[in-house]
Structures are given as structure tokens and as C-alpha cells.
Amino acid sequence: SSREHKLNFKKSKEVCLSYIQDAMLQKQWKRAAEFLTFYVESLEKDFSTEYMGPSEMIWRIGTEILCHHSHSSMKEFNSFIEQMKTLGVKRYLKVCLEHAFHLLCNGLIDEAYQNLSLAESWRFGEQTVLQDKEMKLIRAYRGLLDYYSWSKQKNILLEHGREGFEDLSVEQEMHSCFRKAAVNLKEIIKIPGVWDLFVKCYVDLLEFYGDHNEARQVLNEYAYNSKFPANPNAHVYLYQFLKRHGEPKKSLMSALKILHDIVPSHELMIDFNTMLQKSKKRKKRRLGLEVIFAALDYAGWKENVKAWNCLARQVKQIVISEKHLDWIKQEWNSRKDWWPAFHFSRYLAKQNWQENESLSYEKALVAGILLGRDCKYFKYISHQGCKAQMKRFRILKKFVNKHNLVYLRIS
């Protein structure tokens, strides 16, 4: 047992590391730097059996400290990172990539671009093959920066165009940026993953140069290829694209359907419901009801007037037509236990009336139909509204009174 307490190199470095970690957690950067100076000699010792070796530790810890320490500068950071690059060839590209990110975060776009270009030209035997993923990322980010340049050139051109200039060199530059960007962006989005920004930029490029087919194909791939992880944004992008190009409602709705499945609380659900309500097909109108009810299940929508308006409209329409009350019944069935407390409490009635009269109007209609004219919410709001001599509230009261027995049929 005397051996366990023997203080040796490895153990004292472990202890040192724990001091660094403590200091970092408490944001004591000076202290962390102090202990790091004692830790760095671990580089001179073999830790190849450890999961994470000292060179990686030092890279990560050093980066954190230099990011946060008040006296550190970009110049210091750069010189530190260059040293880190020499320390671990297996990590070279990763370090380059993160360095580029750091430069971007500090607004040094040109430097970031240079770094990425340099990294792209790196070759190191079999390591190049092993670090293929990082290389792809490096190319992708460089592509992104090319897009950014392209975008700048484009804006300049448009400016000049407005002012009546023609600028051939800018135009050529712009096209060359496009080519560079397109190649790399196209590459990266082939790999299953989440590439929202890259996709958007690539589509933007394609649309500008009129290649709508390619753009549509890219977006379809991104949204529908099962190898890619489920990504609501993919569907949003596709929807927006289709809308921009005046596609028929049918395709718009099918794009939004999946979005509804993945994210029922998405803000586009209002658009979706609006389209569905107007549809001639019964199934679609049914879906519309489902969509709007589902959206209002979420707390973020509680005070969304538009959403309540959609629901109110649809409910009203159903009640008046006296057809499909069973739809409402089905939707209400799973909600009747908790929506009253969630949306239609007396407290909320007071609050809604005070803060947002339109909101309370829409909600009152829904409450009146679903819970009857004697429910707390409706009673309070209609009373307030009539007291304030607002015409529409009087109409509302009449309407609900007329259809008072509906709630019995749907409960």
C-alpha cells in the first residue's frame, strides 16, 4: 500500500490537471494559466496509453485560457495554435479547423480563409486519408467563405448596376467565387448530416444562376433522403423554395405535412392551416383542424392571436354548417381534461382581457363553443366585452347562445 501513495510524475500531473480544471470552472484564468505552466512538461513524457494525451489537453485548455484571459491577444493565440499544430499530426486538420472557427468568431475572415486554404493543401501520407472527414469540412467551410465573397461581389455589382456602372472585373471575380463555392458546397451536402447553412447558400447560388432544377433536386434530397437525419429546417427550406417559385398548393402542402409531423409547433403551421382550411378536399380540412389544435397544445402559442383566429374560424365554420361536429369531438376528446385549465381559466380570462382584447375575443369564441356559455372564460370575456359596449362581443354572445348545446354533443 505504500506504493499507492508514491508521488510520481503521472500522479502529480493528474493532480495538476485537477487544479487547472477547478480554476477554469471558477473562471480564474490567471490561476489556470499558472498551473498549466507546470503541466506542460507532460509533453516530454509518454502518455500513449491514456485516452486523451497531454498534447490534446494542452491544446484545449490553452485555447480556453487564451480565449478568456484578459491579457491575451489574437497574436498570442495564433502563435499558440501554430505550436499546437506541430504537436500532433493526427490532430492537425482538426486544430486547423478550430483555429479557423476562432478566427471567424473574431471577425478575421481573411485570415480564416488563408488558414483553410493552407490546411487544404496539407498532405501527410496515410494521415491525409485518415483525416478525410476533417479535410471535407475544411473544404466545405472554405466554400462557405467563397460564397460570402461571392455575395459581397454580387452586392457591389447590384450597386454599380443601379448607378449605371458596369464592372467587368468584379463580375469575373464573382463568377470565380461562385465556381469555387459551388464545388465545395455541393460536395459536403452529399454526406448525410445537418448542413443547413451550406444548403441555403448553395441553393442561393443556384437560384441566382437560374439552375432551378438543380436547386429543387438538392432540396428534395436534403428533405427526403432517409439517410439524412430528420431535420425540420430541410422542409422549411423546401417549402420556401416552392413558394418562391409559385408551385401549386398541393406540393406546398405536402412539404408542410412532414413538418407538422416533426414539429407540430412550428410557426408555419398557421400557413399550413390556412391553406388546408380553404381546401376543397374534406381530408385536407380535417387535417387543418388537427394541425391547429396540435399547435395550440404548446405553451409558446398560448397568446398567438392568429392561431386562435384560425381555430375560431374553423370551429365557427363547422358549427354553422352543422357538419363534421365529430371532427371537433375527436380533437377535443384528448384535450378536454387539460385545455380548460391551460387556456380557459378565469385568471387567464382576466389577463387576456387586460392585455390583448383581440386574443380574448378569439379565445372566447372557442371556449364558448367547446365548453358552453356558462364556462368561466366565456362568461367573463363576454361580460366585459358587452359592458364595454363592443359590437362584436355582442354578436359573439349571440352566436354562442345560439349554438349553446354544441358543447354537450362534443364532450
Partner 1 sequence: RDFNERCAQCSEVNWGLTDGGRFYCRSCHNVTERTREVVNTDFVSNTRIQTISKDLRKQEKNDGGCEWYVCEGFQLVLKKQAEALEALGVSPQMKDEILCNFWRLYLQKSKQAYCNRPAGETVKALSVCDSSTDVDSEPERPSLLHLLSLSESEGDLQTDCSFASSTSKISESTSVCSGSVDGSMYLMKNQKEKLRMTMPMTLSFCYMALLWLREPMTLSDLLRFVVEGHIPYLNVFQHFPEKMKLCGLDLKIFCVESWPVYEEVYNKMLELAAFLDLPRFPDITDSCFLHPDMLCMKYLMEANLPDELHNWTCRVVKKIRIGEADFLTLVPGNKSTRKVKYDVLAVAVIVVVLKLLFLLDDHYEWLLSDFAEERNKNNKEGGPYFEFKKWYKVIKCSLDVEQKKLDEERAKYLWRCEKPLFYSAQKKSKVLKRRQIVVNLQNQFGKLSGSVRPAEKPNPSSFQLSWSEENTDGSCFHGHSLKGILQEKCGLLTAMNPDYWLCTVKLCTEKLCGHLAHYREVEFPQSYHFVLRLFSFLLRIQPSYIHDEVCAIEHKLFNKKLCKKPKYNIGLRK
Residues of this chain that bind partner 1 (CB under 8 A): 1-3, 5-9, 12, 15-16, 18-19, 29-31, 33-38, 40-41, 43-46, 48, 58, 62, 65-66, 69, 71-72, 76, 79-80, 83, 86-87
Collapsed DSSP state (helix, strand, coil) of residue 312? helix
Which of 57, 145 has the CB closer to partner 1?
57
User: Positive or negative, the Cα torsion across 237, 240, 243, 244?
Assistant: negative
What is the rounded distance in angstroms from the CA atom of residue 308 to the CA atom of residue 366?
Answer: 8
Residue 24: closest CA among 55, 76, 78, 60 = 60
Which of 38, 209 has the CB closer to partner 1?
38
Q: Largest Cα–Cα distance in the chain?
A: 91
Which DSSP state fits 44?
G
Let me know: does 377 contact 344? Beta carbons within 8 Å.
yes
What is the rounded distance in angstroms from the CA atom of residue 189 to the CA atom of residue 228?
Answer: 10
Which of 31, 376 has the CB closer to partner 1?
31
Which of 5, 227 has the CB closer to partner 1?
5
Which whole-number Å values give the CA distances from 248 to 32, 157, 194, in the listed order?
61, 33, 28
Residue 98 CB, shortest distance to partner 1, in Å, is: 18
> Over the range 168-193, which residues count as b (16 or more CB within 10 Å of their CB) and which as e?
eebeebbeebbebbbebbbebbeeee
Residue 116 CB, shortest distance to partner 1, in Å, is: 24
Residue 49 CB, shortest distance to partner 1, in Å, is: 9
Which of 3, 162 has the CB closer to partner 1?
3
Collapsed DSSP state (helix, strand, coil) of residue 372? coil
Checking 2-11 for CB contacts under 8 A at 24+ apart, the result is: 9/45, 10/45, 10/47
Which of 14, 374 has the CB closer to partner 1?
14
Residue 123 CB, shortest distance to partner 1, in Å, is: 21
What is the rounded distance in angstroms from the CA atom of residue 17 to the CA atom of residue 339?
Answer: 53
Residue 47 CB, shortest distance to partner 1, in Å, is: 8
Residue 33 CB, shortest distance to partner 1, in Å, is: 4
Which of 79, 411 has the CB closer to partner 1?
79
C-alpha cell at 343: 387556456
Residue 85 CB, shortest distance to partner 1, in Å, is: 11
Which of 13, 403 has the CB closer to partner 1?
13
DSSP string across 210-228: T-HHHHHHHHHHHHH-TTS
Residue 134 CB, shortest distance to partner 1, in Å, is: 22
Which of 4, 337 has the CB closer to partner 1?
4
Residue 64 CB, shortest distance to partner 1, in Å, is: 12
What is the rounded distance in angstroms from the CA atom of residue 202 to the CA atom of residue 258?
Answer: 23
